[in-house]
Structure 1
């Protein structure tokens, strides 16, 4: 018999007792943050915030927060801290909200996180956990069967500078096709827009294709009659690359380490449940999407999209520098030194308390 949301919540609430162990290690890790703001934080501060403002997307690539927020795991873990959530369509918008002090933490793709780190000279944000690997594809109309067929085509991405936008531009450049961020000469026109608009225009024949995350790649295939020209996993060693990870404002991490520990506890607990309840988790994520958008994914789209994703605590840090290099090569951003972008000590404390192996920052931060 499938477990109910309330049963899952009760079970996870019991597991949250490990917070007392994990929080002590998190406090030590956060005290070691080498930033001006961290050095100013009063060592006697409680470490718990009155409110945590969390961003994420109504996309299947954000399954961990979709499921964990909807079934109460996050609220339970945070205890007396009020959880406030906001839904975004793409990473750059979430970064803008974070910089405007409208968010404390957000699930996001790699390139917007890189941009946030670079724009603040490495001060504003830290990546504290992985969430999803995989789940991005270039889907095209009939008649396009090779990269050369894309010359003169119009392709969509979710937003300029977002993860899929950078990946598409880099892949085209590697294949001798130019794109322009500023409207200059190009071989392929990139038209960033909201994913729902992309689906509508693709159906109408007004777009030749799009590089999108799930479930939108599957929607273009199943609902729009498109064909996969490239699955992004083919470009990465072992098919493993970061699609979604969790970032936090550095100041918030330093000031409220216990709240961050509780956030990570909910994140890990939800990931454990997903791993143990694969198909039920797919349906739970779909129900959460419906609750946020009033639209539920069809079973064909859901199952196709879910099979292309892997929920993970590992931020796949080794792929991040490559993403940053791609952004610089395509003119989306300047070259950036990512040293210090990861702060994985709090996550590894939670993982250790729950009997899991640690994850690596690949030399780009603290573990």
Structure 2
């Protein structure tokens, strides 16, 4: 009787144990592998105030990307877009595979600060241009030095963490002040739209703003005795970069390499191209966007101004890694990028493989 009782207990325990092991040994359903796409979508931003990506302009005009991707029997679908309210949804919904966008846009998207959408599905894989112009800090009457910005509010456009970093470095070089996001007293307030930033400055919402050059005159005109200070970015500060969808990088490294090879070839072509040729491509791109995409009335920009923007511009294929590391570290310190690091932001493995050959 005693033996039978223990035998029953052992049998029950065995069933329980085998059931437990069976539950724990169940594996998740395998995810279906991505099939090689027949088409790759590459987007770039139509611009008028500053140069857009020269690799996108020249590469599209000369069919460079189409040539490299034809080795995989893949065609190219080009998308011309503009502003974060269009680029962010494209990326968030995986409706683009590669995109040339300003680093400001990508930092806001990857930190998910942007009101227009954000995510963790893209990585920076190459450089495009480096910033040559400075930032314009406009302070209102009564602020006679940077030290007067303590406990004041500074408006920054477009959730630009790169602009905040430049401003923080400027404060650090001249004062003991720092932004409130990193434990200081200078209040940072983001505004999505430049015209609303200027209006907020005019209405007293901000004590100072960091605005675009073409809006400085308006801010100074509407605020007598306001002053402009120039914040100089560090040498080699990235402006536009090539961003890729992580799923494409991971599943199709050979395709990604072909895009990068085309990018490098387009970089060489752009470096030897005349500013007039690049300006013409940029103007044509902007005209197409306004007329065909927006269906709006087109006002052609002054060609001379566009040409001047291309003169002496830094055209690169490899981004400034030191700057990007500083940016990511600042984003982490400010709480904009918690739990994430460089590997989440940038992936240069394939670019290095190509350049090492």
The structure-2 alpha-carbon separation of the partners of 1:341 and 1:171, relative to structure 1 and needing over 3 Å to count, comes to same
State the SS of the aligned residue for 1:247. Answer: strand
Structure 2: gaps spanning 5 or more residues: 1-29, 113-118, 222-226, 291-297
Whether contact under 8 Å (2:153, 2:189) holds in the other structure is yes
- Quote the RMSD (CA, aligned, Å): 4.4
Does residue 1:220 correspond to 2:215, yes or no?
Answer: yes
Alignment partner of 2:41 out of 25, 46, 53: 53
Whole-angstrom distance in 1 between the partners of 2:300 and 2:197: 18
Alignment partner of 2:94 out of 70, 94, 101: 101
168-177 or 319-328: bigger deviation: 168-177
Q: How does 1:82-121 map to 2 (within 5 A)?
A: 82-90=76-84, 94-110=87-103, 113=106
The structure-2 alpha-carbon separation of the partners of 1:192 and 1:165, relative to structure 1 and needing over 3 Å to count, comes to farther
69-78 or 202-211: bigger deviation: 202-211
Q: How far did 1:276 drift?
A: 1.0
Q: How does 1:178-257 map to 2 (within 5 A)?
A: 179=179, 187-188=186-187, 190-195=189-194, 198=197, 210-211=209-210, 217-220=212-215, 229-233=229-233, 236=234, 239-257=235-253
Partner of 1:133: 130
Whole-angstrom distance in 2 between the partners of 1:207 and 1:303: 34
Does residue 1:302 correspond to 2:296, yes or no?
Answer: no
Count the aligned residue pairs.
299
Alignment partner of 2:63 out of 69, 73, 91: 73
Whole-angstrom distance in 1 between the partners of 2:267 and 2:204: 39
TM-score by length of 2: 0.64
Whole-angstrom distance in 2 between the partners of 1:303 and 1:201: 32
Q: How far did 1:240 drift?
A: 1.4
The structure-2 alpha-carbon separation of the partners of 1:67 and 1:261, relative to structure 1 and needing over 3 Å to count, comes to same
The structure-2 alpha-carbon separation of the partners of 1:191 and 1:95, relative to structure 1 and needing over 3 Å to count, comes to closer
Whole-angstrom distance in 1 between the partners of 2:106 and 2:134: 21
Q: How far did 1:203 drift?
A: 9.3
Partner of 1:269: 265
Partner of 2:340: 336
Whole-angstrom distance in 2 between the partners of 1:154 and 1:296: 36
Whole-angstrom distance in 2 between the partners of 1:195 and 1:70: 30
Structure 1: gaps spanning 5 or more residues: 1-38, 354-367
Whole-angstrom distance in 2 between the partners of 1:201 and 1:51: 45
Whether contact under 8 Å (1:64, 1:267) holds in the other structure is no
Does residue 1:322 correspond to 2:322, yes or no?
Answer: no
Q: How far did 1:173 drift?
A: 7.0
Task: Report Cα offsets for 1:258-311 as digits up to 9, x if no partner.
Answer: 442343243223322221124222343233233323344335643554357411
Q: Which has the larger radius of gyration?
A: 2
Q: How far did 1:106 drift?
A: 1.9
Whole-angstrom distance in 1 between the partners of 2:188 and 2:265: 43
Task: Report Cα offsets for 1:14-67 as digits up to 9, x if no partner.
Answer: xxxxxxxxxxxxxxxxxxxxxxxxx9897xx985x2222333322334332552
